[in-house]
A and B are shown apart, each in its own frame.
Chain A
Amino acid sequence: MTGERDRVGSAIILAGGKSSRMGRPKAMLSFGEEPLVKLVIRGLATLFPDIVVVAAPGQELPELPVTLVRDEVAYQGPVGGLCYGLRECRSAAAFVTSCDVPFLSLPLVSHLAARLPGHDVVVPHWEGRLQPLHAVYRRSVLPLLERQLERGELRPVFLFDKVRTLKLEEDEIRALDPDGWSFFNMNTPDDYECALARWRAATDGAARPAAGRCEVELFGVARLRARTSRVSVELPESATLAHVWSALARKLPVLVGPVLTEAADGLTAGHVCNLNGRDFVRDGGRRVAPGDRVLLMSSDAGG
């Protein structure tokens, strides 16, 4: 368990950008039936109990189950948003992102959070550029950011030399997000069209017709990481355990890495499934019938 001191329990979404080239507020771009900001919040809520959205004064937003804070002065750039967000967040550290990121990789976000111990900031270094709006910040850096704001240093990178900053290198990022789609953000209508096409392809693939459901009960590491003990997943015709794993990965991305393999096609070493309290199985080809109970647990029963 990570101690309280190192717990990244908050996410801050900066939604107050100008969206000048897009021509309309990026937070409200539709993906499926919901605005992008909701999509981003839904994903991050599986990792963080505390979500803070920083919006511009008067900016239109749907009703959101989050802490909403308005920039005191509009358009002060990311450092302003960061300050307002960190002031409101309720844990020792926060993951910070912009709102126009439809392809956040939750395993990568989770990994950034896990790398915090011993650092104040964890920031990806992707294709030669630091990604300050896809980074984890300790709340303790707030006074430094406030001073930056006073001096007009509106770019977060000025902070990085002053505190213990871990620059996460590409190899480490590629293990979780091979093509870096996490860092794709949208500035023009063309970007939006491109994102929408990719998003539809991905979600269609995940939405095969369901033939039934099975219940997965999580134990140990899986339960504590997912913060839930039971999940019901839809099964296609002739479902196998591999279908259960991939459905589980979509519902609980936080399990990818610690419990499920990165490709969500297997269990990590040290974990095993049990079917209906009877058979222990690690083989993804094992058939799973609607109504089956899948127990997901540590394979080491030492006590």
Chain B
Amino acid sequence: MTVHGFHGRLLHVDLDSGRHQWREIGADRLRAFVGGIGLGTSLLYDFAPPGVEPLAPENPLVFASAPLAGTGLTTTAKYAVVTKSPLTGFIADSLSSSFFALALKAVGVDALVVTGRAPEPLCLFVGDGGVELRDARHLWGKSAADTENAVRAELEGAAVRVAAVGPAGENLVRFATISNEGRHAGRGGVGAVMGSKNLKAIALCGGKQVAVADPEGVAAAAASLRRRSLGTHTAKYREVGTVANLAVFDRLGALPARNFQQPTFDAADELSGESLTETSFSRRNGCASCTIRCERLFRASSGGEQRMEYETLFALGPLCGLEDREAVLEAARLCDAYGLDSISTGGTLAWAMECAERGLLPEAGGLRFGAAEAVLDAIPAIAERRGVGDLLAEGSRRAALALGRGSLDWAMQVKGLELPGYEPRSLKTMALGLAVSPRGACHNRSGAYEADFSGKVDRLDSAPPRGALVAASEDFGAALDSLIVCKFLRNCFQDFYAEAADLLAKVTGWDYSAAELRLAAERIHTLKRCFNEREGWRPEDDGLPPRVLTESLAAGVAQGTRLTRDELREMLRDYYQARGWREDGRVSEAKRKALGLPAKQAVSKLHPREATAPEIVIPAKAGIQAG
């Protein structure tokens, strides 16, 4: 059956055997999981053998495209990378964007699934002529950007698009990224999974267009969205970029500094996005098909230019106590070059700095809060697993478990993923969002902080309905991430579910309603939790670091504010209730059934080596009435 907006098939490449297979993806699965993060999660669930080791050959690495990709709609040139995270042991679902995303769609697949491990470094090339595994031994050790350039030159195609891992991915750093065109699928260590497969790069070049069901309708919607994307809602992203958060968060006592020991930072004004813009702005950049173009590049005194986002600025600046913006720009450049998640890099370094200041990690060199040179030395050491870098390459939780001596108390992570730059004690809806996110402390798959900034709740108080707010934010995120539409467009919709469902209907030809999209979003989010449960999730995994739950804020407008264990417990209870899950946070059988998800004990019979395509059976329009 032809479905518009999709190709209806995936490419499965098994690096153990060197074979590949084109396999059908049923329309039911596409309709139930939409695309992007949803489709990727669904394929992960079925392709991953339960309990698989994240860095074992059997762990599937899924690249998922989406129905809106390639339609020209603003901000939709995106793809998802989904796998089991070597940092958390749970789902890792990351997004990246731009021309590689368009190329993924153009090679005629809705998803690319890679399993196995190649005996030697390879580059996987998918073109209109077929699939080719190319020797990549000469690329081993190169940065992702250099690899991208080299592969494009070798394949002599301006239209070839490449995603690659840098040295960090090769060396199985548990927070390594996959990058393309200077952007990263950043969180959860997807780059380590790719590196573990000896897969240095994926190159794509195709010309397979997908027809949409209602071209005129899509064009009209695209024009409307483009116009709205240029309004005041997105001015922050267009005129300043995400770096605008830093100074504001400082004033609100929400800027984590010195490993979350402070919620403000003395040098916030010097490091602020406004100050960077006024003194060092170089140019603005954007993804393919994007009208917002939020990327900002700043001039470094070395003469080069460096992209900077809030999370990188926070993690390598205040979190590590670095005040010198040139050092922060250089640290960011190193993370990009080696292919490291800058948030986890900063979080793990900050943990090590605190260890060193407590006399616990003598081999940590000169790592101290504010020690810029030590940070610039440590980043390559992590990527190359040299000296103490080998320990830090494990991420803060595993490093703390290895070191012991109470150091887990100041490992600022949830489920193993380091916290982003949103202080949970002064943003309490966000605190709950961080605690329950399937991939660990995450600010991307949901945006629970939005409630804290809305004025609709008191951000310093944890009173209900925090659970419902977080659940709604997660579902909203799941819908955006599966269609895929950039979050920076989120406030440009008047009635998101109605508009997005209408858009999906115009692209696919399906009779897709707002209620069906809401239900799909809930299904997608819930399947992530089901995956985590299958991989060993326990109730205590929904939590926050001890520091957050025992120390009050030391400074700023929210000085003295606490977030107690009781408060968190109460918010969790409220959240599980809002979700319709069991009191202990597990997904009930009834909920699974209502969403058309597999029963808890069902071990997938859909191992990738089996000949038939995996399918989750979704009852036609399952439970729409309930949505």
Question: A168 an interface residue at 8 Å Cβ cutoff?
Answer: no
**CB-defined contacts of A276 to chain B, threshold 8 Å:** 557
Question: A274 an interface residue at 8 Å Cβ cutoff?
Answer: yes
Known: A224-B277, A270-B235, A298-B235. A219 touches B248 (CB 8 A): yes
**CB-defined contacts of B453 to chain A, threshold 8 Å:** 272, 280, 299-301
**CB-defined contacts of B199 to chain A, threshold 8 Å:** none
**CB-defined contacts of A279 to chain B, threshold 8 Å:** 455, 458
Question: B338 an interface residue at 8 Å Cβ cutoff?
Answer: no
In the complex, what residue of chain A is closest to B457 when comparing beta carbons?
A280
Which of B235, B245, B248, B452 gathers most chain A CB within 10 Å?
Answer: B235
Known: A277-B252, A303-B420, A303-B421. A220 touches B244 (CB 8 A): yes
Please tell me which one of the listed residues A269, A281, A282, A295 contacts residue B248 in the complex, with CB atoms under 8 A apart.
A295
**CB-defined contacts of A67 to chain B, threshold 8 Å:** none
Chain A nearest CB from B3 CB (Å) reads 32
Query: What is the 8 Å Cβ interface bit string for chain A, positions 262-303, against chain B (1 contact, 0 not)?
Result: 000000111110101111111000000000000101111111
Contact check, B232 vs A271: say whether CB atoms are below 8 A apart: yes
A302 CA to B294 CA in the complex, in Å?
11
Which B196-234 residues sit within 8 Å CB-CB of chain A?
A: 231-234
Size of the A side of the interface (Cβ < 8 Å), in residues, is 33
Query: What is the 8 Å Cβ interface bit string for chain B, positions 45-67, against chain A (1 contact, 0 not)?
Result: 00000000000000000000000
Chain B nearest CB from A168 CB (Å) reads 18
Contact check, A302 vs B488: say whether CB atoms are below 8 A apart: yes
Question: B547 an interface residue at 8 Å Cβ cutoff?
Answer: no
Chain A nearest CB from B461 CB (Å) reads 11
Which of A220, A271, A280, A295 gathers most chain B CB within 10 Å?
Answer: A220
Known: A295-B248, A301-B245. A219 touches B450 (CB 8 A): no
**CB-defined contacts of B252 to chain A, threshold 8 Å:** 274, 277, 295
Contact check, A300 vs B236: say whether CB atoms are below 8 A apart: yes
**CB-defined contacts of B278 to chain A, threshold 8 Å:** 224
Which of A277, A279, A282 gathers most chain B CB within 10 Å?
Answer: A277
Please tell me which one of the listed residues B311, B422, B557 contacts residue A277 in the complex, with CB atoms under 8 A apart.
B557
Contact check, B233 vs A219: say whether CB atoms are below 8 A apart: no
Which of B252, B310, B422, B443 gathers most chain A CB within 10 Å?
Answer: B252
**CB-defined contacts of B443 to chain A, threshold 8 Å:** 303
Please tell me which one of the listed residues B251, B459, B491, B556 contacts residue A300 in the complex, with CB atoms under 8 A apart.
B491
A3 CA to B231 CA in the complex, in Å?
19
Question: B309 an interface residue at 8 Å Cβ cutoff?
Answer: yes
A78 CA to B331 CA in the complex, in Å?
54
In the complex, what residue of chain A is closest to B239 when comparing beta carbons?
A221
**CB-defined contacts of B247 to chain A, threshold 8 Å:** 219
Query: What is the 8 Å Cβ interface bit string for chain A, positions 241-280, against chain B (1 contact, 0 not)?
Result: 0000000000000000011000000001111101011111
A269 CA to B228 CA in the complex, in Å?
11
**CB-defined contacts of A258 to chain B, threshold 8 Å:** 232, 235
Please tell me which one of the listed residues B242, B458, B557 contacts residue A302 in the complex, with CB atoms under 8 A apart.
B242
Contact check, A268 vs B248: say whether CB atoms are below 8 A apart: no
**CB-defined contacts of A301 to chain B, threshold 8 Å:** 245, 248-249, 422, 449-450, 452-453
**CB-defined contacts of B310 to chain A, threshold 8 Å:** 303
**CB-defined contacts of A194 to chain B, threshold 8 Å:** none
Query: What is the 8 Å Cβ interface bit string for chain B, positions 459-501, against chain A (1 contact, 0 not)?
Result: 1100000000000000000000000000110110000000000
**CB-defined contacts of B491 to chain A, threshold 8 Å:** 269-270, 299-300
Question: A170 an interface residue at 8 Å Cβ cutoff?
Answer: no
Which of A220, A223, A274, A303 gathers most chain B CB within 10 Å?
Answer: A303
**CB-defined contacts of A220 to chain B, threshold 8 Å:** 235-236, 239-240, 244, 248, 273-274
**CB-defined contacts of A270 to chain B, threshold 8 Å:** 231-236, 491
Question: A229 an interface residue at 8 Å Cβ cutoff?
Answer: yes
Query: What is the 8 Å Cβ interface bit string for chain B, positions 270-302, against chain A (1 contact, 0 not)?
Result: 000110011001011000000000000000000
Contact check, B450 vs A269: say whether CB atoms are below 8 A apart: no
In the complex, what residue of chain B is closest to A301 when comparing beta carbons?
B453
Contact check, A297 vs B557: say whether CB atoms are below 8 A apart: no
**CB-defined contacts of B283 to chain A, threshold 8 Å:** 3
Question: B454 an interface residue at 8 Å Cβ cutoff?
Answer: yes
Please tell me which one of the listed residues A221, A229, A274 contacts residue B235 in the complex, with CB atoms under 8 A apart.
A221
**CB-defined contacts of A298 to chain B, threshold 8 Å:** 235-236, 240, 244, 248
Question: A1 an interface residue at 8 Å Cβ cutoff?
Answer: yes
Question: A146 an interface residue at 8 Å Cβ cutoff?
Answer: no
A278 CA to B459 CA in the complex, in Å?
8
Known: A282-B455, A301-B245. A268 touches B232 (CB 8 A): yes
Which of A229, A268, A297 gathers most chain B CB within 10 Å?
Answer: A297
A300 CA to B240 CA in the complex, in Å?
12
In the complex, what residue of chain B is closest to A282 when comparing beta carbons?
B455
Question: B253 an interface residue at 8 Å Cβ cutoff?
Answer: yes
Question: A217 an interface residue at 8 Å Cβ cutoff?
Answer: yes
Contact check, B239 vs A224: say whether CB atoms are below 8 A apart: yes
**CB-defined contacts of B314 to chain A, threshold 8 Å:** 303
Question: B321 an interface residue at 8 Å Cβ cutoff?
Answer: no
Chain A nearest CB from B494 CB (Å) reads 11
**CB-defined contacts of B558 to chain A, threshold 8 Å:** 277
In the complex, what residue of chain B is closest to A286 when comparing beta carbons?
B455
Question: B370 an interface residue at 8 Å Cβ cutoff?
Answer: no
Query: What is the 8 Å Cβ interface bit string for chain A, positions 203-236, against chain B (1 contact, 0 not)?
Result: 0000000000000010111011100010000000
**CB-defined contacts of B458 to chain A, threshold 8 Å:** 279
Chain B nearest CB from A299 CB (Å) reads 6
A221 CA to B247 CA in the complex, in Å?
12
Question: B395 an interface residue at 8 Å Cβ cutoff?
Answer: no
Contact check, A281 vs B455: say whether CB atoms are below 8 A apart: yes
Which of A223, A229, A300 gathers most chain B CB within 10 Å?
Answer: A300
In the complex, what residue of chain B is closest to A278 when comparing beta carbons?
B557
**CB-defined contacts of B422 to chain A, threshold 8 Å:** 301
A301 CA to B491 CA in the complex, in Å?
11
Question: B447 an interface residue at 8 Å Cβ cutoff?
Answer: yes
A191 CA to B487 CA in the complex, in Å?
54
In the complex, what residue of chain A is closest to B456 when comparing beta carbons?
A280
Chain B nearest CB from A231 CB (Å) reads 15
A272 CA to B490 CA in the complex, in Å?
17
Known: A217-B251, A258-B235. A229 touches B274 (CB 8 A): yes
**CB-defined contacts of B236 to chain A, threshold 8 Å:** 220-221, 270, 298, 300
In the complex, what residue of chain B is closest to A217 when comparing beta carbons?
B251
**CB-defined contacts of A299 to chain B, threshold 8 Å:** 453-454, 491
**CB-defined contacts of A1 to chain B, threshold 8 Å:** 239, 277, 281, 284
Contact check, B245 vs A269: say whether CB atoms are below 8 A apart: no
Chain A nearest CB from B307 CB (Å) reads 14
A303 CA to B281 CA in the complex, in Å?
18
A-B contact pairs, 16 of them (CB 8 A): A217-B251, A219-B244, A219-B247, A219-B248, A219-B251, A220-B236, A220-B248, A221-B235, A221-B239, A229-B274, A270-B231, A298-B235, A298-B244, A299-B491, A300-B453, A301-B249
Q: What 6 pairs between A and B have smallest CB-CB spacing? A: A277-B557, A303-B310, A280-B455, A298-B236, A268-B232, A220-B244
Contacts A224-B239, A300-B453 given; 7 further ones with Cβ under 8 A?
A1-B239, A220-B236, A220-B244, A274-B251, A277-B251, A282-B455, A303-B311
User: A residues near B, CB below 8 A?
Assistant: 1, 3, 217, 219-221, 223-225, 229, 258-259, 268-272, 274, 276-282, 295, 297-303
